[in-house]
Structure 1
């Protein structure tokens, strides 16, 4: 994973809070503020590498409090061995520290806030409910052609009616994917899939809870609309388990909580899975390596799920480099 040659790095971290422009509503409830930690490693020559820990506890990662405890117990000078020793119970910490190390040692694009892989298409996250019917228009003008809409938030029949209206309003070139955040029952999942087959939905993401893998596997073989696993494959260990159990549909991968980027890369290259890389509402620092992985490992023309910056009202995404973002905290 990491180089065996011993170098020490000055380790610093700063916690952040980013309020959403409006609360993000999912089947799991309301999300008001994104909290996370920015990391900076500095080598003996003064070169700097940035990383980010952006946990998502309700999705399957460690909690923000656990990441703070972890960072506070690290010494002010660390080595690659400290990073390699991070346990699998802290996948967001694994991602953050190895990302900083990779940025510093492999000359990743860590100096620019804008990722050079600008050719990667993004899907834009729409608001839940009827607001989606109009919200796509301004995003379309900004260059988004794939959209994600979260379902399982309101009554099924109400959402299906909105879905019909939304699909009728979208241009023929647009793609629409649905995300249930594990919030459907088997009965309601079937109702959505029947509608999806009629409407040409790109895919339905995680319709059922994680403990209903076999039902999702069966559904994936009964309808023409592809199913995607998301919560079921939050970490690399879960991804490996679902693959071993026979899942050959879409894997939605959130690299910021999946674990070590190097191990994720190795698995994807070995197994050639249908992967869609997606955001956990991290800052541009975490997004940088996520997009680098997406550019390298996405085998289809599916848009990456990183079109989420419009959900924040701050100006962080307009800063010119990572140093400015670090200094803004």
Structure 2
């Protein structure tokens, strides 16, 4: 892959960003290269606003976007909530983050949760403003929200390259209306989001994203339904954390099957690993010694690199060049007082800082350089 020039913010507003490729088609790629070397930096603005500092490996303070770009990151993933309690991850904060990412030469991957807070396989809560809507109006709300955010991004000169309709939607979205056991309504909601994306941002590729990246039987069932109900989509995305979702071999088998069965490109939209099991704030860490033992990889800076590389190698090995990218989840979410996980609770902590790419002294770890091997 060619190296990207870091643009100024002014230039980025008008500079064209090449599309990945035509929908449903995969261009041949050299083995070992990732077209999308991504980072989910959804919490970065909140971290910066509450005083986070980022340093290179030598301890010199630096702009986090510049550090990410120098580490080979060429795509940023940003989640969108509808009306979060603290205002972060809303349209108002996603727009300036998108501008900064584009100024650093990055493509943009927008992740709609269709909630006011976290949406994942265990919870898909409606936004408060949509809670009492009859289904036709709920479907319209999905369309309108998607079109509003993507239209605003396009208007400011930072159109999304990829858009995710729902986050880890193994069990559906906007429960109970769009639960997994009501595919006609789930398909209608997904189609509303996809149609809105293609209407207001024609160059944007639509992504459908499931967790449990090695769960082939579940994923076949899910995407068979999506296809049978005519849901429009371009890319299949999975989350795969080696300590939760199985081995790299199970991920490889699933991605190879999904890409061939449905004729779509595939990405790993979320992965991460800990460089320690220690804590840097009062919030208990998600990654701990038990999870490290499950993965069989040391909780160390070198272990973090090993785990990350295993996932990247799987994606580059997907047959026929269909594996187009990896996104590491929240590598810049270091522990900063006030920038915790709960938008409704300013006293909440991080719980993720031991999986970041920066140590507890804010210095860049070796994992920050992994993507440079996949250019």
Q: Same fold (TM over 0.5)?
A: no
Pairwise TM-score range, normalised by the shorter structure:
0.3 to 0.5
Normalising by the residue count of structure 2, what TM-score does the alignment of the two structures yield? 0.40
Normalising by the residue count of structure 1, what TM-score does the alignment of the two structures yield? 0.44
